[in-house]
Amino acid sequence: MSLKILLVAQRLDSWVEKDLEILQSAGHEVRVVQARGLRDVIAFLRGTLWADLTFSWFGKLHAFFTVFFSKLLGKKSLVVAGGDDVACEPEINYGMFTSWWKKWCPIFVFHYADFILSVSAVNQLETIKNAKADPSKTKLLYHGFNEQEWQPLNDVGKERLVLTVARVTLFSFRVPDTCQTYLLSWLVPGRTIPLNNSRLFRQPISPLQGGFMARIYN
């Protein structure tokens, strides 16, 4: 059965574009709204009026409006729990559930959404534990990858370390003393800036100066 689907996301990242491609290839009619803030509320309402199903990436403010309008208008809503919208990691100031004035949003979203997709087992557990989502509404669906393009390097030896990588824009993480921290710059390819607990790490980083934060645990 062909559906009319409103796809809402903050950015048209590669995984959002892939979802759009999959939905369209399955014969569904899809409209996309790139959420930029409260100015898009009318677009959310119009899109929900048109759609049979709303599909929101991440349980943030844009998902609050799509889920709210879906309930109000008797439409179905699906939300993908993607990471910080259900996380609570106060030791590094990560996740919407570290803030009392932010967590109301994902709690509402994941309580009233009809369907919830989680991208990992930990993500699914956090959605149920922190956002109080009904387990019967959640489904675990891992990100896919091209196994021909991404394969393990069998000739490379393993080291006793764990590497985690996260995108950096405007932030103020607290860095655990147990790890070495680096900012890998987008603007200067190959440049690595050791940060640790330095003042540089506390300073705001604009989107144009953004990069990736890597934490290496020995």
Q: Give domain status of residue 151, yes or no.
A: no
Rg of the chain over all Cα atoms, to the nearest angstrom: 19
From 142, 70, 51, 52, select the one nearest 109 (Cα to Cα).
70
pLDDT at 90: 87
Assess whether 108 and 206 both reside in one domain. Answer: no
Q: Residue 5's beta-bridge partner residues?
A: 30, 53
- How confident is the model over 14-49, as pLDDT tens digits? 889 999 999 999 999 999 999 988 889 999 999 999
Q: Give domain status of residue 152, yes or no.
A: no
Average pLDDT estimate for 149-159: 75
Assess whether 182 and 115 both reside in one domain. Answer: no
pLDDT at 174: 52
Q: Which among 93, 110, 140 is the end of a domain?
A: 140
Distance between CA atoms of 112 and 71, rounded to whole angstroms? 8
Average pLDDT estimate for 146-168: 70
pLDDT at 41: 96
Q: What is the pTM of this model?
A: 0.75
Assess whether 173 and 206 both reside in one domain. Answer: yes
Which residues touch 185 (CB under 8 Å, ≥6 apart)?
191, 192, 193, 209, 211
Q: Residue 27's beta-bridge partner residues?
A: none
What's the 3-state SS for the chain?
CCCEEEEEECCCCHHHHHHHHHHHHCCCEEEEEECCCHHHHHHHHHHHHHCCEEEEECCCHHHHHHHHHHHHHCCEEEEEECCCCCCCEHHHCECHHHCCCCCHHHHHHHHHCCEEEECCHHHHHHHHHCCCCCHHHEEECCCCCCCCCCCCCCCCCCCCCEEEEEEECCCCCCCCCCCEEEEEECCCCCCEEECCCCHHHHCCCCHHHCEEEEEEEC
Assess whether 118 and 12 both reside in one domain. Answer: yes
pLDDT at 176: 55
Average pLDDT estimate for 151-168: 68
Q: Give domain status of residue 92, yes or no.
A: yes
Q: Which domain holds residue 208?
A: 162-217
CATH number for 20: 3.40.50.2000
pLDDT at 77: 98
Q: Which among 73, 107, 140 is the end of a domain?
A: 140
Q: Which among 140, 174, 194 is the end of a domain?
A: 140
Assess whether 11 and 41 both reside in one domain. Answer: yes
Average pLDDT estimate for 1-5: 94
Question: What's the domain count of the chain?
Answer: 2
Q: Give domain status of residue 146, yes or no.
A: no
* Angle value at C-alpha 119, between 11 and 40, nearest 5 degrees: 25
Distance between CA atoms of 213 and 116, rounded to whole angstroms? 28
- How confident is the model over 111-139, as pLDDT tens digits? 999 999 999 999 999 999 999 999 999 99
